[in-house]
């Protein structure tokens, strides 16, 4: 007789643990299985995001930004720091303490919500049975009315730069450097590449980002992308577009270093030598060992688990959420899918608005967006109006020496409903959430323009951008408005 649950969740990352907690809150007997092990081999909760993704990278981004401020920015405030040094080992230890704290927090939350936490590897079998293999190799079979697959994603590898976890690393290895590399190469100038490149650039590395695409951040609004590239280049990131890496060779003649060959958009071949090379060319769904051959769950042509609009697979009672399914690989997207799936299992008619999912790049300044880009609206033939406002005209931003960037608001030309907001600037991640909230309730640009914003705040740039949609901005001259299509 198998132990029976109402819900079994495989994976305890942001998608999995949230799904498990919400299911338990709804009165469902729930178990959550996790196979992640830390650097000491201990099985822990949290998945990729907490252990080697969102949380540790933000810890390093914060540490490096504070160092950079002390090294280069404090003088503007009349603060002298003298002989400044960086203890990379201590910085890494702080990051690890944060990860351990958060992992323990998730374990505590699961327990507080009466979720059975099972540490081991889970595999879906036919008939909604789940085979669990613990660290010692012992196998237990569980059974559930519903199984939620939340196994996450892993970095994409490329043959021309095989990861050796020493000189050539992926995004995980880039979180473990014990000293600042003098010369750092980054293959890929996407979200992860820019964030990790920023960490080590602030600490003194000469960073070169080799991006195969001819356009910079093609998924972002291109006006914001152009401004972002200008700011990051000014900070010292050497971003080279249209550069396809063709090979890499590690040598130890002058100490450990790696020679990278690449071809630019004109077909010219070049070589660069780095002390470390980070491969950041994307992530792929992680399904190895997750599905038995006869479980019946289908994958799509890209290796993602196939699901419908509500994250139900082709097998009744089997669901999949987070990075392992279609859509942007964002922790908050997976978390919300977890809530929706748990509620649907409990009989509620929960739905998720995929059109209002914020995305953020945690460089400094941050880059954030919600809704549609101007390029997308042009391709659809939608009539729209645009308003922009620079942080340079915001008193709080100038006082904080954080005046780079802008807010861009896009509204429907007929209804004035907000269609998108794109920001590069201070606190962009938090500012764009204000607009996401407004969009969820169908707000117009005029609505935001009528709201009283505190002064002085960074968020005043959001109000001014909304006013600018109709040429009514107060704190800058307004250009003649022209409807765009």
330 is in an annotated binding site: yes
Torsion angles phi and psi, residue 93, rounded to 5: -65, -40
329 is in an annotated binding site: yes
Q: Which of 68, 310, 422, 455 is catalytic?
A: 455
192 is in an annotated binding site: yes
455 catalytic residue (yes or no): yes
122 is in an annotated binding site: yes
191 is in an annotated binding site: yes
193 is in an annotated binding site: yes
Closest CA to 325 of 317, 341, 313: 313
194 is in an annotated binding site: yes
476 is in an annotated binding site: no
* Residue that is written with structure tokens 């003194």 in the block: 204
374 is in an annotated binding site: no
Q: How many Cα atoms within 13 Å fall on the side-chain side of residue 133? A: 7
189 is in an annotated binding site: yes
331 is in an annotated binding site: yes
The residues carrying an active-site annotation are 455
Residues at the annotated binding site for FAD? 58, 122, 323, 329-332
Residues at the annotated binding site for NAD(+)? 188-195, 211, 282
Residues at the annotated binding site? 58, 122, 188-195, 211, 282, 323, 329-332
């Amino acid at each position: 007789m198998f132990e029976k649950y109402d819900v079994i969740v495989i994976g305890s990352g942001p998608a999995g643990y949230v799904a498990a907690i919400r299911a338990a809150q709804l009165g469902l007997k729930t178990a959550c299985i996790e196979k992640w092990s830390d650097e000491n081999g201990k099985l822990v909760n949290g998945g990729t995001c907490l252990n080697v993704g969102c949380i540790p990278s933000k810890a390093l981004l914060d540490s490096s930004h504070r160092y950079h401020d002390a090294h280069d920015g404090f003088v503007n405030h009349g603060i002298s720091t003298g002989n400044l040094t960086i203890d990379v080992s201590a910085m890494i230890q702080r990051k690890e303490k944060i990860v351990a704290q958060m992992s323990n927090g998730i374990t505590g939350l699961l327990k507080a919500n009466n979720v059975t936490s099972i540490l081991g590897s889970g595999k879906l079998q036919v008939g909604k049975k789940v085979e669990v293999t613990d660290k010692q190799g012992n196998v237990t079979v569980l059974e559930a009315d519903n199984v939620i697959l939340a196994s996450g994603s892993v970095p994409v590898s490329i043959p021309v730069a095989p990861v050796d976890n020493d000189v050539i690393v992926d995004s995980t290895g880039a979180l473990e450097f014990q000293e600042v590399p003098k010369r750092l190469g980054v293959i890929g100038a996407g979200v992860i590449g820019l964030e990790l490149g920023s960490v080590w650039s602030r600490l003194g590395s000469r960073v070169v980002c080799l991006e195969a695409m001819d356009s910079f951040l093609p998924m972002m609004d291109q006006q914001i992308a152009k401004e972002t590239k200008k700011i990051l280049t000014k900070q010292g990131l050497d971003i080279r577009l249209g550069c396809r890496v063709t090979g890499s060779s590690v040598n130890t003649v002058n100490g450990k270093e790696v020679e990278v060959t690449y071809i630019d958009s004109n077909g010219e071949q070049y070589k660069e030598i780095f002390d470390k090379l980070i491969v950041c060319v994307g992530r792929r769904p992680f399904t190895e060992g997750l599905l038995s051959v006869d479980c019946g769950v289908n994958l799509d042509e890209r290796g993602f688990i196939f699901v419908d609009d509500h994250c139900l697979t082709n097998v009744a009672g089997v669901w999949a959420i987070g990075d392992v399914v279609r859509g942007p690989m964002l922790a908050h997207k997976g978390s919300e899918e977890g809530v929706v799936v748990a509620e649907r299992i409990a009989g509620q008619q929960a739905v998720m608005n995929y059109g209002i999912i914020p995305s953020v790049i945690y460089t400094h300044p941050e880059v954030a967006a919600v809704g549609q880009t101007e390029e997308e609206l042009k391709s659809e033939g939608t009539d729209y109006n645009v308003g922009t406002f620079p942080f340079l005209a915001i008193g709080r931003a100038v006082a904080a020496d954080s005046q780079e960037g802008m807010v861009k608001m896009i509204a429907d030309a007929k209804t004035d409903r907000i269609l998108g907001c794109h920001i590069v600037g201070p606190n962009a991640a938090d500012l764009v959430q204000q607009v996401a909230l407004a969009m969820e309730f169908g707000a117009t640009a005029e609505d935001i323009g009528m709201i009283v914003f505190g002064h002085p705040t960074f968020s005043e740039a959001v109000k001014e951008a909304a006013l600018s949609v109709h040429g009514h901005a107060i704190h800058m001259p307004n250009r003649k408005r022209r409807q765009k299509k």
